[in-house]
Chains A and B, each alone.
Chain A
Amino acid sequence: MEPEDRVIVAIAGLNALIGALDRDGYRVLGPTVRDGVIACGDISGVDELPAGWSDEQDGGRYRLTRSGAETIFGFTSGAQAWKRFLHPPRQRLWRATRDGDRVRVHAEPAPDERFAFIGVRACDLHAIAIQDRVLTEGAYPDPFYTARRKELFIVAVNCARAGGTCFCTSMGTGPAATSGFDIALTELPGEGGSSFVAQAGSPRGAALLRDVADRPATAEECAAAEAIVARTAASMGRAMPDHDLRALLLDNPDHPRWDDVADRCLTCGNCTMVCPTCFCTTTEDSADLSGTESTRTQRWESCFTMDFSYIHGGSVRASSRARYRQWMTHKLATWIDQFGTSGCVGCGRCITWCPVGIDITEEVAAIAQG
């Protein structure tokens, strides 16, 4: 089978795929309904996927809803980004033990966990690719991320619906999965349950697909799948203004809108925590009371905290205006200088999960208005 060949996978086939991955030693993660949202968690079969569930998203608002259909992937951007697994919130780096004047540093071994992600959307594929750039392609790659990433198996899903805060089309990152996956699925709703038009993106994906596919997809089925994605593209909840964002933001460090958004911004850091590309971390040292063992742990940090830019005597970015400006300018402008891509993939999470619903597209639009 050629990678570009499309095949039909039934629900049972998807279940078999999950089983096969599990048997291959992968920790299989997929969307599940949990605590009122769809969030990624461990799954062992299709029946744990959120069949029949959907979501409504808006600035500062998320509601889980019944979709009225039995589709499995009828929801949009999940509450959490996949970075939680590849670049976890907390990661011990090393331990040091002391014996008299002798100190030994014990580096944390590289993780040997193998993840398989089920249901990665186009925006998140791009986000993973962006974190790959940041964390693996510099002079000093993050070996833990690299190790997890190397083993990662991705089953992507093309979006059949756009969420209220989605704007991937305007960022050029979706809704169709075009690369960076092992297998990509488009869900075709049907009378007797969904089936999937599936496409392999890697030899590993092709091999597995061979085992679980029912048959080649027909031309009509392929066309139906493409139509679904095209419809999604046309129904985005939001759009990033069509501008040279890099120039716009670099030219406007003193725009009055920064003061305006500072009045609304809580500097709580939620946007950075949910963003699939935000990668910043800090380190925390701890030691036991006797002082014989100390540990350094890395954890997610946010450019909205005062510690982030603290140098002796105070924080460089003490005002919330400066912190919001740093975040947005980094995302949309300086990221391009640093890594050759935008730092935003249009997933809309920062809009949905901002407790007061600050909307990055709206802020850009306000600045673009002059």
Chain B
Amino acid sequence: MTPTPRKPRLAVWKFASCDGCQLSLLDCEDELLDIAAAIDIAYFPEAARGVIRGRYDLSLVEGSVTTAHDAERIRDIRARSRVLVTIGACATAGGIQALRNFADVRDYAAAVYPDPAHIDTLATSTPIADHVPVDFELRGCPVSKRQLVETIAAHLAGRRPVVPAHSVCIECKLRGLTCVMVARGTPCLGPVTQAGCGAICPAHDRGCYGCFGPMETPNAAALAERARELGLGQDELRRAFRSFNAAAPAFREESERHDDQNDQG
């Protein structure tokens, strides 16, 4: 709470992504002008042309690394950032584009591009933390704007952000929602997924599909077993764990357990 003499400088960087996480910052309609008053938004090309070069107190990084050039670029950004926070499933787990990690990227390119030789891409989509040290990872596909504001404010204040790593279930119950898995038999990834979204899927009568990635101590195998009892087949289980956070280790391992050759059902 000690006022800082110079306004801290914020930069927002984009790697392979849908732009949604950085848009969350512009979606903070109520806070945006306060944020702009408290910090110097020095680099945010989605929102402004101006560029202040040099070092940044806080860099928010969206997106995953999918090109050799990006792998270089993130090193430079790290070197120029005092605190580097990754935002969103792409930056923290490789994102939906990490589905290529389970396939041959050349096939992928050939299927979309007649001249795939010109496509500059790596065989994998990887989280930022695979390339440089990251100070804090904010999960979600997309991040929650409440948590985004909290993360920015907390880093400026030197506080630990209130971004618990526990399950979506806790959030679900704090809200007083009905468990869709227990009361409807709808498979739900909430028990193995990190809180933060506000349990919006159960709030809309559907199971969580894991867009915040694995919670702190996920027991994916036990949940998968339960989902199987509720009627999910092997392919469905594989796909359930292989989506927006497919490359997060706990989800990757669980999805691989349901690959054709590995299924133990």
Are A and B direct contacts in the complex by CB distance below 8 Å? Answer: yes
Q: CB < 8 Å: which of A63, A98, A265, A274 contacts B183? A: A63
Q: Are B170 and A268 in contact (CB under 8 A)?
A: yes
Find chain A residues with CB under 8 A from B183 CB. 35-37, 62-64, 79
**Is A259 at the interface (CB under 8 A from chain B)?**
no
Of B73-81, B97-105, B124-132, B152-160, the stretch lying at the interface with chain A is: B152-160
Q: Are A266 and B173 in contact (CB under 8 A)?
A: no
Using CB atoms, name the residue of chain A closest to B38.
A289
Q: Are B178 and A307 in contact (CB under 8 A)?
A: no
Q: Are B159 and A84 in contact (CB under 8 A)?
A: no
**Is A153 at the interface (CB under 8 A from chain B)?**
no
Contact indicator per residue, chain A 52-73, by CB within 8 Å of chain B (1) or not (0): 0000000011111000000000
Given A302-B170, A305-B216, A306-B217: A34 in contact with B190 (beta carbons within 8 A): no
Of B29-37, B44-52, B107-115, B246-254, the stretch lying at the interface with chain A is: B29-37
**Is B184 at the interface (CB under 8 A from chain A)?**
yes
Contact indicator per residue, chain B 160-190, by CB within 8 Å of chain A (1) or not (0): 0010111101100111111101111100101
| Residues from 293 to 332 in A contacting B, C-beta threshold 8 Å | 294, 299-300, 302, 304-307, 320
Find chain B residues with CB under 8 A from A291 CB. 1-3, 156-157
Using CB atoms, name the residue of chain B closest to A274.
B173
**Is A214 at the interface (CB under 8 A from chain B)?**
no
Give bound CA distance, A340 to B137, whole Å.
Answer: 44
Q: Are B216 and A300 in contact (CB under 8 A)?
A: no
Q: CB < 8 Å: which of A60, A80, A265 contacts B219? A: A265
Give bound CA distance, A289 to B155, whole Å.
Answer: 10
Given A35-B177, A266-B167: A306 in contact with B223 (beta carbons within 8 A): no
Find chain B residues with CB under 8 A from A305 CB. 164-166, 170, 216
Given A63-B183, A90-B174: A266 in contact with B223 (beta carbons within 8 A): yes
Q: Are B170 and A273 in contact (CB under 8 A)?
A: yes
**Is B145 at the interface (CB under 8 A from chain A)?**
no
Give bound CA distance, A291 to B216, whole Å.
Answer: 30
Given A84-B176, A266-B219: A36 in contact with B184 (beta carbons within 8 A): yes
Given A287-B159, A320-B217: A268 in contact with B178 (beta carbons within 8 A): no
**Is A264 at the interface (CB under 8 A from chain B)?**
yes
Give bound CA distance, A302 to B190, whole Å.
Answer: 16
Find chain B residues with CB under 8 A from A61 CB. 182, 185
Find chain B residues with CB under 8 A from A284 CB. 162
Using CB atoms, name the residue of chain B closest to A263.
B222
Size of interface on A: residues with Cβ below 8 Å to B: 49
Q: Are B37 and A270 in contact (CB under 8 A)?
A: no
**Is A256 at the interface (CB under 8 A from chain B)?**
no
**Is B63 at the interface (CB under 8 A from chain A)?**
no
Find chain B residues with CB under 8 A from A355 CB. 169, 179, 181-182, 188, 190-191, 223, 226
Q: Are A269 and B169 in contact (CB under 8 A)?
A: yes
Q: Are B217 and A289 in contact (CB under 8 A)?
A: no
Find chain B residues with CB under 8 A from A34 CB. 178
Interface centre among B38, B39, B164 (most CB of A within 10 A): B164
- Shortest Cβ distance from residue B234 to the other chain A in the assembled complex, whole angstroms: 19
**Is B256 at the interface (CB under 8 A from chain A)?**
no
Q: CB < 8 Å: which of A98, A266, A290, A306 contacts B222? A: A266
Size of interface on B: residues with Cβ below 8 Å to A: 49
**Is A89 at the interface (CB under 8 A from chain B)?**
yes
**Is A112 at the interface (CB under 8 A from chain B)?**
no
Contact indicator per residue, chain A 273-294, by CB within 8 Å of chain B (1) or not (0): 1100000000011111111101
Q: Are A289 and B34 in contact (CB under 8 A)?
A: yes
Give bound CA distance, A307 to B130, whole Å.
Answer: 25
Give bound CA distance, A264 to B173, whole Å.
Answer: 20
Q: Are A300 and B219 in contact (CB under 8 A)?
A: no
Given A61-B182, A268-B167: A80 in contact with B176 (beta carbons within 8 A): yes
Given A286-B150, A291-B1: A353 in contact with B222 (beta carbons within 8 A): no
Using CB atoms, name the residue of chain B closest to A58.
B182
**Is A356 at the interface (CB under 8 A from chain B)?**
yes
Using CB atoms, name the residue of chain A closest to B156.
A289
Find chain A residues with CB under 8 A from B179 CB. 62, 79, 270, 353, 355
- Shortest Cβ distance from residue A349 to the other chain B in the assembled complex, whole angstroms: 10
**Is B93 at the interface (CB under 8 A from chain A)?**
no
Q: Are A306 and B216 in contact (CB under 8 A)?
A: yes
Q: Report which A residues bind B (CB closer than 8 A).
A: 34-37, 39, 60-64, 79-80, 84, 89-90, 98, 263-270, 273-274, 284-292, 294, 299-300, 302, 304-307, 320, 352-353, 355-357
Q: Report which B residues bind A (CB closer than 8 A).
A: 1-3, 31, 34-35, 37-39, 149-150, 152-153, 156-157, 159, 162, 164-167, 169-170, 173-179, 181-185, 188, 190-192, 205, 215-219, 222-223, 225-226
* Pairs A–B under 8 Å by Cβ, sample size 5: A62-B179, A79-B183, A266-B219, A287-B1, A357-B226
Instruction: Please provide the 8 A-B residue pairs with the shortest distance between their CB atoms, ordered closest to farther.
Output: A273-B173, A268-B191, A289-B38, A268-B169, A266-B191, A35-B178, A268-B167, A291-B1
Not counting A79-B178, A84-B176, A320-B217, a sample of 7 additional A-B residue pairs whose C-beta atoms are within 8 angstroms of each other reads A64-B183, A266-B169, A266-B222, A269-B169, A289-B34, A289-B37, A306-B166
